[in-house]
Structures are given as C-alpha cells and as structure tokens.
Chains A and B, each alone.
Chain A
Amino acid sequence: MNAHAIWAIYRFEMGRTARTIWQSIVSPVISTSLYFVVFGAAIGSRITEIEGVPYGAFIVPGLIMLMLLTQSTMNASFGIYFPRFTGTIYELLSAPVSSVEIACGYVGAAATKSVILGLIILATSFIFVPLHIAHPFWMLAFLVLTAITFSLFGFIIGIWADGFEQLQIIPLLIITPLTFLGGTFYSIHVLPPLWQKITLFNPVVYLISGFRWSFFEIADVSPLVSLAMTLVFMAICLAAIWWIFKTGYRLKK
C-alpha cells in the first residue's frame, strides 16, 4: 500500500480545488441558491405541499443531488483527463502505485469536494426554506455514497473521453436530464402510470428518493432499494475501473 502516493494525489487535487474556488465552490452554490429563490421562495409559495412537505423544502434534497452528481462527475473526470491531455500522466503510470491507489486519490478528492459542496448548499438552503432533517446519519450516508459513486463514474468518463467536448457531454446531456427527470422537482407519483414505470429505469430516481427520505421520511421507492441501487452502481463503476487499469485502456499503448 503506497499511502504516500494516495495522499500526494489527494493533496494535488484538493490544491486544484483551492486554486479554482470560484468555479468549483462559489459558482455551484450560487446557482443552486437561485433555484431555492426561484422555485422555493418565489414560485414555491404558490405550489401546494407535496406529500405534506412544503414545495420549497421538497426540492432541497433533489437540488443537492443535482449539484452533487454533476459536480462529482465533472470534477473527477477533469482530474484524470487533464494529465492525459497534458501528458503528465506518464508520471502516474511510471509510479509504484496500483490502480486502486490512483482511484482512491482522485476519487477521494473529487468526492470530498462534492460532500463539502453538498453541505454548503444544505446550509445555504436553511436561509431560504424551513427545513428539518429526519435522519441526519442516513442523509450523510447517502450524500457520501453518492459523491463517491459519481466521482468513480466521472473518473471513468475522464479516462474514456477523447476531448474536452466528450468531457462536458456526459454531465450536460445525460446526468442533468436524468436528474431533472428523476424527481428533483416532483414526486414520481405525480406522473402517469406508464411514466412511473419508465422512470424506474432512471438510476437517479433511487438516489434522490433515498436522499429525500432521509430528510422527510417520504420516498418514491423504499430507502433500502435506494441504498442497494447506489451500492450496485458503485460496484459497476469499481469493476469498470479495475478493468481499465488491468488492460491499460486509453492509458497505456
């Protein structure tokens, strides 16, 4: 176990976050706050409660998830793509580090950043809407697990991507739509029966549902199913990363 290497990568990545604090922390917090203002305070006051929860509060878990998913993916993908792009990856490949250690460093840093971001957004939401967290432990568990899972996913995207465009495409064209359609702004119970079924193929539904349950004890699917789906998705990502490093896919010639 090369703990020094994990720590070196982790510090390097956290240093990058610190250098780009406006882009990586301030900007997502501000844009999420705008959602709170517009949907929570301005429009939300005219929307009736959803399953007993005021609309402004109802959207908080979904919005945190939205930020968590896009930021984890973008951050982790950029972290590993940039060394590939500049060529500094040579050092990583020639170092006495295992794939697990490399992934720990990059994914750990990306997930840390996302969790910090999620907590800042959560704290901010208290300013705009009255909020009560029913299960703080599970709230944190879903937050951390999701951050790790989507950082793993982002790491894979960063290795797969062949250009900056591909790097942007996944968060913008896949994650954001899936999150919007996954119940950020509504309970999937408001959908027609057929769409309720189709929506269950959207993995983000489970993440948002579980996270929302930890706040309000209301859920579209059982929290245990949510937890299981999160872990399944994480296992798939881990398997993909293991395969990437074993074969050297897009990393080694």
Chain B
Amino acid sequence: MSPIISIKNLSKTYASGFQALKTIDLEIARGEIFALLGPNGAGKTTLIGIICGIVNASAGTVTVDGHDIVNDYRAARSLIGLVPQELTTDAFESVWATVSFSRGLFGKPRDPAHIEKILRALSLWDKKDDKIMTLSGGMKRRVLIAKALSHEPQVLFLDEPTAGVDVELRKDMWQVVRELRASGVTIILTTHYIEEAEDMADRIGVISKGEIILVENKIELMQKLGKKRLTLQLQKPLDAIPSELAVHNLSLGEGGKELVFSYDTQGERTGVTTLLSDLNKAGIRFRDLHTTQSSLEDIFIGLVHGDAAANAPASPELVSRTAP
C-alpha cells in the first residue's frame, strides 16, 4: 500500500540561519501510529509545521495521500488534523462554537451530530457551552483535539499531546487515539513520555539535530537494540567477582548481594547457560533471579548521545517500570 505521507529531501533553514532540518526522507504508512522522538530543538515541531502548512520548507517535497502540500494544498490539508504543542485556544468562544468553526474552516458542512460525538468521546459534552478561558489546561488540550478531529481527518498529528496532562486524562486520550487508529486514521505523535511511544506506537522515528537517525518497527527496535540484564540475588554476599567468572560481563550490586549479568538478546549465544554452570562450579548459590530489558528511553538516550548510554545499565526506576 502506498504511504499516506511521503517526505523527500526536506530541509529547513530559518531566516536566522538556524538549520532546523537537514535532509529528511520519511514515509508514514497508512493507518499506523508513528512516534517521533527527539530531544527539544531536534526539529520535531518544524517537521510537523511544514507538513501542516504552518512553516515554509526551504527545499524538498511532501505529499499527503499523493497530494503535494504546496501545489495541491487544499486536498492535502483537508486530510490532516493538527493538535499543536502549545495550548493556543480562543478565550471567549464556547467549546461548541470553536469546534464547529474548525469544521467549517476545513471545508466541511455543518454536522452537529458529528461534533456531539467528538465532544462526548473527549468528555467535553458537559462543557460545550462554557467559554474556553474557563476551562482547565487539560480540558483545553481536549478542545484542541476536538478541533483537530472536527473535520474527520485521515491523518492526525499530535505534537506533545500529553504534556502537562494528568494521568487520568492521558489514559482517556490514548483510548481516543486507539479508537481513531481502529477506524483507519493514521497518527503521528511526538512525545516526551517514552512509555507512551512504547505503549502506543507501531513504528518509532528518532530525530536529532535536524536529522532522522533511525526509523524502525518498535518491536524490532526493542529487540535489535535491547540489552537484557539477568540479576541474581545471592545467598551470601560477595566482596568481589571471583576470577573464574571474569570472562562473563558481570557486576556486583546491592553491596555484593546481587550479581548482574548484561547480555544481548540478539546474540547467537546469550551466555546465560555458561554463566549458570560456571556459578555452580564456583559454588556461588543464589536465592532468586529476574531479568529486565532496556526501555525505549534507554535506547533513545543511547541513540541521541552515542552508544555509551545505551550500553550502560538501566537506571533503577526504569528497571522497575519495565520489569517483565
């Protein structure tokens, strides 16, 4: 199936001379959830801005469902819904009016039933007659999502949609995103909460300093780059790693009460069997064992800052969060 968004040789240099995007080539598949990860200033918002028509590209082309975003902007833009990063809303309009306005702006005839459906799905129905300025930040975020969905887009951009949103609301929002995806909408999101990308995305793209440094199916990415760690809780603490175990990639933890073994899940031999047998020979007994896998965050930090961080053991809170 042809990609819904196709980006070729896209670059952007701002008037100040800052090169926000170097050369971007990217294809987004129809119906997928694509997570774009990258540190602040990496070019995520610029990239989304260009696709949506807010920022002019310096070079390159973008097509949305085959429609060029410049020459055929009407067709391209009417397929897109955008939820911006900033909470930019009208202040004095009612929720109902602003969402209806968006639908009209995108060229669709009035459809109160559709607007009602969206507002109910986003738990905004009770607030439909309230002025936007009276709403909380989380509610305003929902209003922005409702506006983006008002014209039944085929592609939805969510730029940091859950920044500053409480856990409850975040869950609701992801439920809406899942439903949209089930109805065939393609979703492109940027987020700082890497757990979200890990939970939601089909594919992950990593952007750093204006370049896409990686695009990978999430599961394959986790497998390919994922390090696993085996932690053995020892019956008797060790002062140092015995010399006969030096061949294994081991470290001591918890004041010698734990022995930690890092290995690559993709390796032909993980070395787990040999380690266990060597431990037996050395007379080291353990009470319990568990394995943990690198989170996407570790992988991400590793990619952006070089491999050193990715190879480093995951921090304790990451371990607890991603423990299988």
Contact = CB atoms under 8 A, between A and B. Distances in A.
A152 B49 CA distance: 28
B56 A92 contact: no
Contact of A87 (B15, B82, B86): B86
B77 interface: yes
A96 B90 contact: no
Interface stretch (B105-113, B181-189, B313-321): B105-113
Contact of B49 (A2, A92, A253): A253
Interface string B11-27: 00011000000000000
A91 interface: yes
Nearest to B81: A94
Given A8-B101, A88-B88, A252 B55 contact: yes
A46 interface: no
B272 interface: no
Interface string B50-93: 00111110000000000000000111111010101010111111
Contact of A91 (B15, B75, B92, B105): B105
A95 B49 contact: no
Given A88-B89, A90-B88, A97 B105 contact: yes
Interface in A199-253: 248, 252-253
B147 interface: yes
A19 B109 CA distance: 24
B286 to A, nearest CB: 57
A91 B147 CA distance: 9
Contacts of B73: 96
Contacts of B109: 4
B75 A5 contact: no
A93 interface: yes
A1 to B, nearest CB: 9
B24 to A, nearest CB: 17
A9 interface: yes
B104 A4 contact: yes
A9 B84 CA distance: 20
Contacts of B49: 253
Interface of A: 2, 4-5, 7-9, 11-12, 15-16, 19, 86-88, 90-98, 248, 252-253
